[in-house]
């Protein structure tokens, strides 16, 4: 798993796993200590936040984004475990945002965005390499972020849209670990008949 995270930014597994095992591995891999937050994602669960993806998009597909972009330091890793009883036909989609940014540095490193949430405001580029020493943090959510120069958001979205996409098809009890500072992720639309879809999400934050 560690080699996959290092080389690709994500790992897909089909064996039994626990968040404690993942936490131990990423502690060793990164040298940081983490705390975690776990919640259950279902098609009918809507966040109380005014600008949440679930509230705006419902069962429709989500735009590519970083989880926790409203935080100064978003969670470093995400663990998604398929807890669905039966088929989970909704696919998770990934794009390597940091790789994309290396080919578009002026756009990702220099364009300033305002990040706004529930009483939260901050100015930041999409990729910030000043928050954590020797680490670049990708941070993007089109719902809560707007560029100071309006056309830059249009350019960012077009660049992301044109990037290579990785498609994850869920299997029973499978799991996905994502480097949330590197990868943008999304999901396809949820079929109305797929009300039993359950994903357990654990976010790992640096202490």
- Delimit the domains of the chain by residue range: 2-206
pLDDT at 13 over 90: yes
CA gap 68, 184 in Å, rounded: 12
> What is the pLDDT averaged over residues 132-151?
94
> What is the pLDDT averaged over residues 138-157?
95
Taking only the tens place, the pLDDT of each residue in 58-78 is: 889 999 999 999 999 999 999
Mean residue pLDDT of the chain comes to 91
- For 62, the 3-state DSSP assignment is coil
pLDDT at 119 over 80: no
> What is the pLDDT averaged over residues 87-98?
95
- What topology does CATH give the domain 2-206? Double-stranded beta-helix (3.60.130)
> What is the pLDDT averaged over residues 90-117?
94
Scored b (16 or more CB within 10 A) or e, 4-28 reads ebeebbbbbbeeebeeeebbebbee
Helix (H) or strand (E) holding 26: helix 19-30
> What is the pLDDT averaged over residues 110-116?
93
């Amino acid at each position: 798993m560690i080699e996959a995270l290092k080389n690709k930014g994500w790992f897909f597994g089909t064996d039994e796993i626990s968040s404690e095992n993942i936490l131990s591995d990423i502690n060793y891999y990164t040298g940081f200590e983490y705390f975690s937050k776990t919640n259950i994602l279902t098609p009918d669960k809507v966040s109380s936040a005014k600008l949440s993806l679930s509230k705006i998009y419902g069962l429709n597909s989500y735009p590519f984004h970083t989880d926790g972009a409203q935080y100064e330091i978003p969670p470093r890793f995400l663990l998604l475990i398929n807890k669905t009883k039966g088929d989970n036909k909704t696919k998770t989609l990934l794009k390597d945002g940091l790789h994309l940014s290396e080919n578009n540095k002026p756009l990702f490193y220099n364009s300033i965005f305002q990040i706004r949430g529930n009483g939260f405001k901050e100015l930041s580029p999409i990729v910030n390499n000043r928050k954590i020493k020797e680490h670049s943090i990708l941070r993007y959510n089109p719902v809560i972020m707007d560029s100071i120069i309006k056309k830059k958001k249009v350019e960012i979205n077009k660049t992301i849209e044109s990037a290579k996409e990785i498609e994850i098809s869920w299997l029973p009890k499978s799991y996905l670990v994502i480097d949330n500072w590197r990868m943008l992720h999304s999901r396809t639309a949820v079929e109305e008949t797929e009300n039993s879809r359950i994903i357990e999400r654990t976010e790992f934050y640096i202490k």
